[in-house]
Amino acid sequence: MKPHNNIFCLLFCILASILSLSSAAYADPLPEFIIITEEREPYNFKKDGTITGISTDVLLLVLERTGSTQTSNDIKLYPWARGYRMIQEKPNTILFTTARTKERENLFKWVGPISEIEYQIYALKSKNIKINSFQDLKKHNIGTIRKDVTEDFLVNKAGMSVDDFDRASLNSKNMLKLSLGRIDLVAQSYVSMINSCKESGLSPDDFEPVFVLDKKGMYFAFNNNTPDHVVEKLQAAFDSIKKEGKLAEIFSKYDN
Residues 170, 212, single domain; the answer is yes
Q: What are φ and ψ of residue 50, in 5° steps? A: -120, 140
Residues 64, 140, single domain; the answer is no
Q: How large is the C-alpha radius of gyration of the chain? A: 23
Number of domains into which the chain is organized: 2
Domain that holds residue 111: 29-116+217-253
83 CB-near residues (< 8 Å, 6+ apart): 36, 37, 38, 76, 95
Position 235 scores a pLDDT of: 98
Residues 99, 185, single domain; the answer is no
**pLDDT values of the chain reduced to their tens digit, one per residue, 256 residues:** 555 555 555 555 455 444 444 444 445 789 999 999 999 999 999 999 999 999 999 999 999 999 999 999 999 999 999 999 999 999 999 999 999 999 999 999 999 999 999 999 999 999 999 999 999 999 999 999 999 999 999 999 999 999 999 999 999 999 999 999 999 999 999 999 999 999 999 999 999 999 999 999 999 999 999 999 999 999 999 999 999 999 999 999 998 6
Cα dist from 22 to 15, 27, 62, whole Å? 11, 8, 18
SS3 20: helix
Position 71 scores a pLDDT of: 97
CA 165, 170, 172, 173 dihedral sign is negative
Cα–Cα distance measured from residue 206 to residue 124, given in angstroms and rounded to the nearest whole number = 6
Cα–Cα distance measured from residue 234 to residue 33, given in angstroms and rounded to the nearest whole number = 13
Cα–Cα distance measured from residue 237 to residue 227, given in angstroms and rounded to the nearest whole number = 16
* CATH number (domain holding residue 149): 3.40.190.10
Residues 61, 101, single domain; the answer is yes
In our burial notation (b when 16+ CB lie closer than 10 A, e otherwise), range 204-235 reads eeebbbbbebbebebbbbbbeebeeebbebbb
Is residue 13 domain-resident?
A: no
Residues 68, 136, single domain; the answer is no
Residues 126, 174, single domain; the answer is yes
Residues 133, 208, single domain; the answer is yes
Residues 92, 46, single domain; the answer is yes
Position 21 scores a pLDDT of: 41
Cα–Cα distance measured from residue 165 to residue 154, given in angstroms and rounded to the nearest whole number = 9
Cα–Cα distance measured from residue 191 to residue 198, given in angstroms and rounded to the nearest whole number = 11
Position 14 scores a pLDDT of: 52
